Every structure is written in structure tokens, then in C-alpha cells.
């Protein structure tokens, strides 16, 4: 019985964090609330201001709603964003080439994809 429970738990974790199958060589395309690759949505994202500091919080989810990562872009820290990945609770600093919201979302999605979080 213990093996069945362990197997069920493992299955639940695997199905919850299910990456979108796609051709990873295709370019990333960003819209207001999602990032696509190979014409498939690989992540949805949202942006919310943090107080009146000018900082913004980016939240990235899988299409099934599972939170993959959260990133904070501070106003005085242009050029990089600090991203926490939920799967392993690690902190990453991602360098940015652009600072528009859609470009930030695309660059973070590329980082997450390259590191197998997406």
C-alpha cells in the first residue's frame, strides 16, 4: 500500500508541473499576458507594481496555472531582474537587454526555458 501512495504522489507532482511540448528551436513570441514558442503558449505572465517604489513583480505560470517563477524588477536596478523559481526555490539574477515589460517577460521566459523550468 505504501508503494501505491508514493507512486500516486509522484504522479500528482509530475502532472502538475508538466512542461509544454514544443520545438525549442523556434523563436519566442510575446504578447500582453503570455509567451509562445512553436505557436504554443508556454507561460502566462502577470505584472503588478510593488508599492510606490517603481518596482514591478512578474509572475510566470504554466498554462495549467502552476506558478513557475516570480521576478522582481527594481527601478534602480535596470538591466537585471531577480527571479525565484518555485520548483527548487532558487534565486537567479537574469541580465536584460531591454526594459519594456513584454521584453522582460520574453527574456525571463527564455531563461526559464533554457534552464528547463518551462
Residue 39, C-beta contacts closer than 8 angstroms, at least 6 positions apart: 26
pLDDT above 90 covers what percent of the chain? Answer: 71
Nearest to 104 by CA among 35, 38, 37: 35
**Predicted model pTM:** 0.84
Give the distance, in angstroms, between the CA of residue 81 and the centroid of all CA atoms in the same chain.
12
* Section 39-67 average pLDDT: 94
Residue 85 pairs in a beta bridge with 69, 90
Poorest-confidence range of 42-46, 84-88, 97-101? 97-101
> Which tens digit of pLDDT belongs to each residue from 66-83?
999 999 998 777 789 999
Output the CA torsion sign for 34, 32, 103, 51. Answer: negative
Amino acid at each position: 500500500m505504501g508503494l501505491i501512495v508514493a507512486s500516486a504522489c509522484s504522479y500528482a507532482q509530475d502532472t502538475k508541473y508538466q512542461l509544454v511540448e514544443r520545438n525549442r528551436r523556434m523563436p519566442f513570441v510575446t504578447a500582453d499576458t503570455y509567451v509562445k514558442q512553436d505557436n504554443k503558449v508556454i507561460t502566462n505572465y502577470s505584472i503588478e507594481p510593488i508599492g510606490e517604489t517603481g518596482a514591478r513583480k512578474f509572475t510566470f505560470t504554466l498554462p495549467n496555472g502552476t506558478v513557475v517563477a516570480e521576478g522582481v524588477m527594481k527601478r534602480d536596478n535596470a538591466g537585471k531582474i531577480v527571479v525565484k523559481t518555485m520548483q527548487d526555490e532558487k534565486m537567479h539574477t537574469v541580465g536584460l537587454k531591454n526594459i519594456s515589460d513584454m521584453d522582460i517577460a520574453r527574456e525571463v521566459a527564455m531563461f526559464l526555458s533554457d534552464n528547463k523550468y518551462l
